[in-house]
Structures are given as structure tokens and as C-alpha cells.
Structure 1
Amino acid sequence: MTISIYLFNSIVFVFASWTIGLVINNAIKNMAFYSRFSHFNFIKKESTYRAIGMTSFKWILKNSFFKYFNQKLKFESRPSISQLHDIRKEMTYSEIGHLIGFIFILIVMILKLRDGHVTYAAILFICNIIFNLYPSLLQQQNKKQIDRILKR
């Protein structure tokens, strides 16, 4: 297969992983361990977010068709405390859905590597980072900002 076909297939797989993330996330959201994910953070320092390009990623999301994907994560006006709690909960849900999708694609990627499809696995990995890991990290960063506001 050519690289363009690998890229197309990778993007389709990653978009499909969002559905898998949604389904699994819905199945586990009422389980006792789910609330522990609310304060889970991969990155502790704000400077690390900037170093990995999160500022640019956020700009791309805000200025592309992706801004229409999850309308629940928007404020129309200055939010109340309860609205901040609600949106934080929605961010956690979105974050976990993307992480589930990320793990699913990692499994697919490992299977492709095992079958000797190194180029396909590499392209799949890059797409997975862009479309699953970075959105999850962005949700974590945004939750931290909401937490700072709620502390005041």
C-alpha cells in the first residue's frame, strides 16, 4: 500500500476509535473507579504543555472544523460555579473517551507492527497522538485552569 492509503486508513481508524471510546466510556462512567480519573494528570508543568506544542494545537482546534465537535465544552457567557463543575465533568468524560481510543489504537498499532507493517504502524501512531492523545492532554490542561478558577 502507498503512504496516502496508510494515512487515510489511519485517520479512519482513529475516528472509529472515538466511537469505541464513547461506547466504553458510557459503560464505565458509573463505576466506582471512574471518579478517580477526574484529577488524573500526565503533565504537571504548564511549560511542558507549551514545549509539546499544545498552544498551537489549541489554536488549530479553535480555528478549524474541530471546534464544532463537542459543543458542550463552550461557554456562551461568564459561567457560574455550577456550570464550571458541569463543564469540568464533561471535560473528564471527553478526556477519558480519547484515552480509551488512544489505547485501542495502540493495540491495533502493535498488531500491525507484529504483522510487519512498520510504516502503517508509524503513521497510525502519529495520527493517534494528534487525534487522541493531544485532545486528552488538552482536556487535562483545561481542567487545571477550571480548578484554579474554582479555588478562588
Structure 2
Amino acid sequence: MTLTLYFLKAITFTFVSWTIGLIVNNAIKNTTFYSKLSDFQFIRSATIYNSLGLSVFAWIIKNSFFKIFNQNIKLKKRASREDLKQIRNEMVYAEIGHIIGFIFILIIIGLQIGHKAYSFALILFVFNVIFNLYPSLLQQKNKKRIDNILKQ
């Protein structure tokens, strides 16, 4: 298979993972497990966030066409506590959807490795990190900032 075809397949799998994330997210959002997930933090240190390049990733999101994807996560100049809580809920929803998509793609990667499609598995892994893991980590970072504001 050619490299171009690998990239096209990786893009397709990424969009499918987002759809799977939405479907599963909607199915579990009213469970007690979901509320536990909403407070979960993979990374607690701002230093680690910065060393992963999340500030650069955030800048890319804000200054590219990606900013149109989730219009529900926009902060007004003077947001009330209720606005912040609503935005936090939207962030949790997006974060968990990306985590579900990330896990889905990890399963696909495992299957590809099982079929000895190492090149495609590697490309898919890179796409998965960029389009599922990093958005989830960015949501967590921003969610933590909102939590700090709400505690004041």
C-alpha cells in the first residue's frame, strides 16, 4: 500500500473514531462512571503539559480551521459562574469523546500490528496522538484552569 493511501486511511479512521466517541459518549453520559471520568486528570503538572507542547498545540487550534469544530467551548469576555460550568461540561464531553476515540484507534492499531502492517500502524498512531490524545489533554488543561477559577 502506498504512503498516500495510508494517510487517507488514517484520516478516515480518525473521523470514524470521532463518530464512535460521540456515540459511546452519549450512551454513557448519564452514568455514575461518567461523573467520575469528568474529574479525572491524566497529568497534574503544568510543566509536563508544556513539555508535551500543549501550548503550541493550543495556539494551532486557535489559529487554524480547527477552531470551528467545537463552538460550544468559547469563553465570553465576562463569563458568569454558570457560563464557566456550562463550558466545563462541554469540555468534559469533548475530552471523553476524544479519549473514547483514542482507545478505539489503539485497538485498530493493535489489529494492524497483528497483521504486520507496521507502517500503517505507525501513521495511525501519530494521527491518533495529534487528533485524539492532544485534544483530550488540552481539554483537561483548560478544565483545570476553569476549576481553579470556580474554586475562588
Question: If the TM-score is normalised by the length of the shorter chain, which range does it land in?
Answer: over 0.9
Gaps of 5+ in 1: none
Separation (CA, whole Å) in 1 of partners of 2:3 and 2:41: 34
RMSD: 0.7
Separation (CA, whole Å) in 2 of partners of 1:142 and 1:56: 14
Separation (CA, whole Å) in 2 of partners of 1:141 and 1:130: 16
**1:98-136 deviation digits (Å, cap 9, x = unpaired):** 000000000001001100100000000000000000000
Aligned to 1:125: 125
Separation (CA, whole Å) in 2 of partners of 1:150 and 1:106: 35
Instruction: Read off the aligned partner of 1:122 and give its amino acid letter.
Output: L
Separation (CA, whole Å) in 2 of partners of 1:123 and 1:37: 28
Aligned to 1:49: 49
| More off after superposition, 31-40 vs 66-75 | 31-40
Gaps of 5+ in 2: none
Q: Percent of aligned positions with the same letter in both sequences?
A: 56
**Alignment partner of 1:23 is 2:23:** yes
**1:10-64 deviation digits (Å, cap 9, x = unpaired):** 0110111101100000000011211001111111100101101101100000011
Instruction: Read off the aligned partner of 1:48 and give its amino acid letter.
Output: I
TM-score normalised by the chain length of structure 1: 0.98
Runs (4+) off by over 6 Å:
none
Aligned to 1:104: 104
Aligned to 2:89: 89
